[in-house]
Amino acid sequence: MTTSHYIAGRWVEGQGSDCISVNDPALGLPFAELMAASVAQVDQAVAAAREALPAWKQTSASQRAAYLRGFAEQLGQRREALITLQMRNNGKPRHEAEIDLDDAIATFNYYADLAEQLPQKNCDVPLAAPGFTARTRLEPVGVVGLIVPWNFPLVTSAWKLAPALAAGCTVVLKPSEVTPLIEQTYGQIADTLGLPAGVLNIVNGKAETGAALSGHNGLDKLSFTGSNSVGSQVMRSASAQCRPVTLELGGKSAIVVFDDCDVEQAVEWIVAGISWNAGQMCSATSRLLVQDGIAEALLPRLQAALENLRVGNPLSEEVDMGPLTSQAQWLKVASYFATAREEGLQCLAGGKALDRDGWFVSPTLYVDVPADSRLWTEEIFGPVLCARRFATEAQAIAEANDSRFGLVATVCSADLERAERVADALDVGHVWINSVQAVFVETSWGGTKGSGIGRELGPWGLSGYLSVKHVTRCLG
């Protein structure tokens, strides 16, 4: 697979110095290789997007909506191939891969609807002063760079690509080097639909390619999802150009369980929050705050539930949790197991890498974890859950908010008035009450504090790719 880059409507071979090895994490073995894009090819992709911008932003809202619905339809037609690729390259269980695909399809259809509503948002503005009229125009921000992560490929790119195209922007998309293949689908669909050349460009590569894109002076906006360490570099690059940036970064999220909660339901919500995608989620609720009155009943059931999760190769067996997606992530999680032993943490379940081919670890539960433990404060990005007890509602809120991150949280309580009150008090971007992490395209996604800048999804996702212009005219 050498023709891995889609630039100006053509598939081209990579000319960079890096060879990207694409792995099956359940086996720990590569199954494809491709050459990274060179810096010159990144320049070509940005230039193609710049050239395509004037015509694309003049297309009607209904035309852009038709293309977006075409993307949704074409994703559905490739359903089995895309599900299988997610299972093979990410290690996702089938049911997770199916939900990811449905999420991407829903995103394109949703922004098709919003695109059609854009003309109505260009409207007159009432003025208090006589003798003047004013009107609003919403215009595309321009050429945007989209850098997406490996934990939710296809989905995260849809969250960025669909609103950008709906707004009338042209795009240069850089997938993760860990999962570069599935985003190729967007280029294939662009060909099928006859999307004008240069509207969508895809360049693959490692750090050199990402740096070339994030620092490119031909971009008008940059949207990045990934780690805080890389996000800070992206932000520095954007600041040099005084360029707007959206950052969706890390999390160390809390799930708060009050003692009036049904124990079995609480266990279900807790397990889903830490084991989905093998815990490789910025939204993983990896800090469990459990009230004293329910702790003795809940923790043994939670231990059993984690130990009973079926962990294995999603392509060869029915599993609840697959492997970690990369060897680097496997080594990172294993290092936290070593740290836990050094800190003397009490482990009720897991706490080890599994002795088998591939990059598997056991679902893990540590209890009575000190608030200054590295495992309590740092994002691990694996199925590692740390628990602490609390006595009062005020204590739960204080401990949940005691984090440099602020992405999401979950509140579990039979007292809905209390649950709503606690949700309002949490310093995060999204709160679930008595639920698994159901994410809907109509709601926003993004966080506070170190979890990022800006919002994706919903109308807020579209507004991030629009520039507001006012035209004021003197009537005299």
Q: Are 213 and 40 in contact (CB under 8 A)?
A: no
- Per-residue confidence (pLDDT) for residue 3, from 0 to 100: 66
181-196: average pLDDT:
97
Question: What is the C-alpha to C-alpha distance for residues 235 and 221, in angstroms, rounded to an integer?
Answer: 11
- Contacts of residues 56-60 at CB distance under 8 Å and 24 or more positions apart, as own/partner, are 56/168, 56/169, 56/170, 56/196, 56/199, 57/139, 57/140, 57/168, 57/169, 59/168
Q: Which structural domains are found in the chain, ordered by start?
A: 5-249+451-474 (3.40.605.10), 254-440 (3.40.309.10)
Residue 466, classed as helix, strand or coil, is strand
pTM given for the model: 0.96
Catalytic residues: 248, 282
With bands split at pLDDT 50, 70 and 90, how would you rate the model's confidence at 2?
A: low
224-259 as b/e: b if 16+ CB within 10 A: bbbebebbebbbebbeebebbbbbbbbbbbbbbbbb
Question: What is the C-alpha to C-alpha distance for residues 266 and 298, in angstroms, rounded to an integer?
Answer: 8
Summarised one tens digit per residue, pLDDT across range 22-75 is 999 999 999 999 999 999 999 999 999 999 999 999 999 999 999 999 999 999
With bands split at pLDDT 50, 70 and 90, how would you rate the model's confidence at 4?
A: confident
